[in-house]
Structures are given as C-alpha cells and as structure tokens.
Amino acid sequence: MAGILFLALTQEPLQATQSVILAWQPSSDPNAVGYRIYYGTASGNYTEKVYVGNLTGVTIDGLADGVTYYFAATTFNAQNQESGFSNEASYQVPAAVITNAAPNIQIHRTPAGQFMLTAGGPAGQRLVIEATQDFKAWIIIGTATVGSSGSANFTDFNAINFPQRFYRIQPIRLPKSPNAPVGMQNDESNK
C-alpha cells in the first residue's frame, strides 16, 4: 500500500532548474540487466551518473537554464560489468518560461488502493506522469491528454506495490532546437 504522496508540476513560476526526458531502445545484449546514464556540460566529460535499472526512459532534473548538457548511456550485466558509452546526445536547456497560473492538480485514492491523478490544462495538452521513490530518478509511468473538459486523468495501478511513491506531472514539450535529444542508442561494439 502506498504511503506518503507528493505531486508536482514542473512549470513553477520561480523554478531555477529544468529537466529533460531521455528515452532509448532496449539493449540487444541478452546479458544486459540495466542501464546507467552519464551526463555533464562538456562533450565526453560526464560528471554525473544516474542508475536507471532496466527501464528505457528517465527524467534528469536539475539542469540549468541556457546550459548545454551531453548524455551517454551504458548497460551493465549481473556481475556489474559495464559496456562502453552509447552515442552522445546533447541538449541545450531553453530559458525558463515564467507563468503565474497555478496548476490545478488533484489526487484521489481508489478503494482498490490505486491513485488517480487529475491535472487541469488547455484542451489537447499532452502530459507526462512520473513517479519516484527517492527524488533522484523520476521514471515515466504514463501519459495523458487534457480533454475538452480541461482535465486529464491517470490511474497508477502499480501504487499498491510501493511502500511510498511520489508523483509529478509535466507537459510534454517538443524539442525546439535541432540538437535536442530524441533518444539514445547503445554502441554494443564498445564492450
């Protein structure tokens, strides 16, 4: 049964940092059991590392406005042997959008122990729903589209499998620059 809940929308008026969503194709290596994402502000010089487990998408938080970040992924096997880096993806963080509109977000617990998240917004806006247990790595658990009524609903059917789970909802932003990452591919030949 889920414990403490937290719900956040990342378009806060005074937000000093931003995030990027990374996704990649699963490794073709049958021995791969998980992924790590490396990133930094200089090409090939990765100062940060995030353990992702066996998921193929993650949100990286804490990115500074106007700074270009470089990302690469590795796989690892059950003995914790790590592959070489994937191809590098870069992303220049845009300037923050200042808005004074307060988000309209609600959460309800269903009788079955699931949580239904409801977010308001303009009709047609696509939203990403993310969850975490440690506030370090946010995992995408689904998407929703705001309907003509001005709201979108998402039910976390897996909530009962976690002692605590924290949520946030953010709008899907399409990359505006040609260097924005749309995915990553592991270079299996670097093992």
Q: What is the pLDDT of residues 97-143, one digit of tens each?
A: 544 444 567 888 888 878 888 888 888 888 888 888 888 888 889 88
Please tell me if the domain spanning 7-13+97-171 has the same topology as the one spanning 17-95. Answer: yes
Cβ-contact 157, 110 below 8 angstroms: no
Task: Indicate if the pLDDT at residue 80 is higher than 70.
Answer: yes
Residue among 95, 97, 154 nearest 120 (CA): 154
CATH among 2.60.40, 2.60.120, 3.30.310, 3.40.50 for 7-13+97-171: 2.60.40
Give the domain ranges of the chain. Answer: 7-13+97-171, 17-95
What value does the mean pLDDT take over residues 62-80?
90
* pLDDT level of residue 150 (50, 70, 90 thresholds): confident
* Predicted pLDDT at 101: 47
For 167, counting Cβ atoms within 10 Å of its Cβ (0-12 exposed, 13-18 middle, 19+ buried), the class is: buried
CATH of 17-95 among 3.40.1710.10, 3.40.350.10, 3.40.50.2300, 2.60.40.10: 2.60.40.10
Res. 173 pLDDT band, cuts 50 70 90? low
User: What is the pTM assigned to this prediction?
Assistant: 0.48
How many other β-carbons are positioned within 10 Å of the β-carbon of residue 186?
A: 24
Determine the straight-line distance between the first and last CA of the chain, rounded to whole angstroms: 41
| pLDDT for residue 16 is more than 60 | no
Label residue 48 by pLDDT band (50, 70, 90): very high
Q: Give which of 189, 185, 179, 190 is closest to 87, Cα–Cα.
A: 185
Query: C-alpha dihedral over 35, 41, 47, 53, to 10 degrees?
Result: -20
